[in-house]
């Protein structure tokens, strides 16, 4: 009875949305010259200005030759005002103009959302939904999550889940590796996953993208000053744990401070947006970045990346610089949090450390120029990225014009 009620409620909601959508489409026909963009951080559905949609928005705004009007739609009025003050087009989601552009935009360009559309789910009828996704998956995503048993659903339930959770017309991929994952994880046909490259990686090749540091000027200035001083930068970006386990105890180590001091280096830490393990330690050797810092804007400043299961390690491969994988909870993570798409040893193109001493040793070796993983990085990089030229936004813009 309960299951029947849920299905009936879904079909009523879906039918009502289509009926209202068709009426609105007659009143406000979609304009192929308008693209609506936004980015939602996955904690409490909070809006931000970061990731793929940020880079594509700036590119389209700064390249009027494509005749595509990019409009940033946000529930954060501070983001809207800052973008407006810089001369960009942005509107509060629930303002009259915001609602108008949600109705008029032919393209909804998303970054992560698979349930509540980042632009406006209820007003999205007739728009082409393009999901750039937000990282190259090592960990299982979407309907591949083993603990959800999606594969065991009936066909009717699969249809319900598909329409409620995954409603993208297209997803942008980087290469053969994530193309196959996106198709399988989100039940998409071949033509729905378009291999054009993620907008976020263009910054790794280009130093002249205007306004790339909006909202994070202070953070970028701080990192630039460290870089200018001649210090080596080790960037630590751990992913979040469903278990809420803290793996950062090593930052209080005297051994760590000694290694950094002896090698004229600093450790910069950027936590995952949903990580609950906070800390206030900042000194001459260790700096913490704000939660809203766009990691892709920061990556290029790092001489060495320290991470674990973060998809940012894939992007960093494009710089061909050393990576250290600090994984003290490898087995527990795979058991309690996420399974991986490939064995960790095939993914780890760098030194691997499972405890504090191994991490300090790996840092010392890598800082002093011992790098035995160049070939492995190249193999993984070529498997992951079809394009390695910093022109992904250009490819996506041309593709959108062709739709």
Task: Give me the domains of the chain, ranges plus CATH numbers.
Answer: 17-197+389-402 (3.40.50.11820), 217-384 (3.40.50.12580)
As a whole number, mean pLDDT of residues 170-190 equals: 92
- Distance (Å) of CA 192 to CA 104, 150, 187, 401: 23, 20, 10, 16
Q: Which residues touch 328 (CB under 8 Å, ≥6 apart)?
A: 247, 353, 354, 355
1 or 141, greater pLDDT? 141
As a whole number, mean pLDDT of residues 26-52 equals: 84
Residue 118 has pLDDT above 80, yes or no: no
In the predicted model, what is the mean pLDDT of the chain? 86
As a whole-number percent, the residues of the chain with pLDDT over 70 amount to 84
Q: Which residues touch 135 (CB under 8 Å, ≥6 apart)?
A: 310, 311, 312, 314, 315
Distance CA 28, CA 359 (A): 58
Query: Which of 390, 389, 388, 305 is closest to 349 using CA atoms?
Result: 305
Token pair of 89 as six digits:
């087009």
**What pLDDT is recorded for position 143?**
80
Token pair of 49 as six digits:
């200005």
Distance CA 211, CA 40 (A): 20
**Alpha carbon 11 to chain centroid, angstroms:** 32
For the stretch 382-396, pLDDT in tens is: 999 999 999 999 999
As a whole-number percent, the residues of the chain with pLDDT over 90 amount to 54
Residue 156 has pLDDT above 90, yes or no: no
Distance CA 340, CA 16 (A): 39
Classify residue 372 as exposed, middle or buried by CB count within 10 Å of its CB (0-12, 13-18, 19+): exposed
**What pLDDT is recorded for position 306?**
95
Residue 292 has pLDDT above 80, yes or no: no
280 or 208, greater pLDDT? 208
Residue 374 has pLDDT above 80, yes or no: yes
Say what the pTM is.
0.90
Alpha-carbon torsion angle 186, 380, 41, 102, nearest 10:
-60
**What pLDDT is recorded for position 199?**
97
For the stretch 222-242, pLDDT in tens is: 899 999 999 999 999 988 776
Q: Which residues touch 246 (CB under 8 Å, ≥6 apart)?
A: 277
256 or 157, greater pLDDT? 256
CB atoms within 10 A of CB 389: 13
Distance CA 210, CA 381 (A): 27
Cβ-count burial 236-272 (b if 16+ within 10 Å, e if not): bbbbbbeeeeeebebbeeeebbebbeebebbbbbbbb
Residue 44 has pLDDT above 90, yes or no: no
For residue 163, name the pLDDT band (cuts at 50, 70, 90). low
For residue 153, name the pLDDT band (cuts at 50, 70, 90). low
Token pair of 9 as six digits:
């409620």
For residue 155, name the pLDDT band (cuts at 50, 70, 90). low
Range from 20-29, 106-115, 149-158, 369-378 that averages highest in pLDDT: 369-378
Distance CA 307, CA 136 (A): 14
Q: Which residues touch 167 (CB under 8 Å, ≥6 apart)?
A: 117, 121, 124, 129
As a whole number, mean pLDDT of residues 47-75 equals: 95
Residue 109 has pLDDT above 90, yes or no: yes
Residue 181 near residue 141, CB atoms below 8 Å: yes
């Amino acid at each position: 009875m309960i299951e029947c009620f849920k299905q009936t409620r879904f079909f009523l909601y879906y039918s009502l949305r289509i009926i209202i959508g068709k009426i609105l489409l007659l009143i406000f026909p979609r304009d192929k010259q308008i693209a609506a963009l936004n980015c939602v951080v996955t904690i409490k559905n909070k809006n931000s200005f970061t990731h793929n949609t940020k880079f594509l928005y700036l590119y389209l705004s700064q390249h009027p030759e494509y005749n595509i009007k990019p409009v940033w739609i946000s529930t954060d009025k501070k983001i809207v005002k800052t973008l407006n003050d810089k001369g960009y087009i942005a509107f509060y989601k629930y303002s009259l103009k915001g609602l108008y552009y949600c109705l008029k935009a032919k393209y909804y360009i998303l970054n992560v959302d698979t349930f509540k559309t980042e632009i406006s789910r209820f007003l999205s009828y007739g728009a082409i939904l393009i999901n750039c996704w937000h990282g190259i998956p090592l960990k299982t995503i979407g309907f591949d999550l083993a603990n959800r048993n999606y594969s065991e659903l009936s066909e009717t339930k699969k249809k319900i889940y598909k329409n409620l959770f995954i409603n993208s017309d297209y997803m942008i991929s980087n290469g053969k590796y994530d193309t196959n994952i996106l198709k399988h994880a989100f039940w998409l046909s071949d033509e729905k996953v378009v291999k054009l490259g993620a907008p976020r990686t263009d910054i790794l090749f280009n130093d002249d993208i205007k306004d790339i540091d909006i909202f994070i000027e202070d953070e970028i200035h701080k990192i630039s000053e460290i870089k200018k001083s001649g210090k080596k930068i080790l960037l630590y970006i751990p992913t979040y744990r469903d278990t809420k386990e803290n793996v950062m105890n090593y930052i209080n180590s005297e051994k760590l401070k000694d290694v950094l001091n002896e090698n004229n280096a600093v450790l910069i830490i950027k936590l995952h947006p949903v990580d609950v393990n906070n800390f206030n330690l900042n000194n001459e050797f260790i700096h913490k970045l704000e939660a809203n810092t766009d990691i892709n804007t920061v990556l290029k400043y790092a001489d060495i990346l320290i991470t674990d299961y973060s998809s940012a390690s894939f992007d960093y491969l494009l710089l061909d610089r050393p990576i250290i994988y600090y994984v003290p909870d490898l087995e527990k993570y795979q058991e309690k949090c996420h399974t991986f798409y490939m064995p960790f040893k095939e993914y780890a193109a760098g030194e691997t450390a499972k405890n504090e001493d191994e991490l300090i040793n790996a840092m010392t070796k890598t800082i002093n120029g011992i790098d035995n993983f160049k070939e492995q990085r190249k193999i993984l990089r070529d498997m992951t990225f079809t394009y390695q030229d910093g022109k992904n936004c250009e490819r996506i813009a041309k593709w959108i014009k062709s739709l």
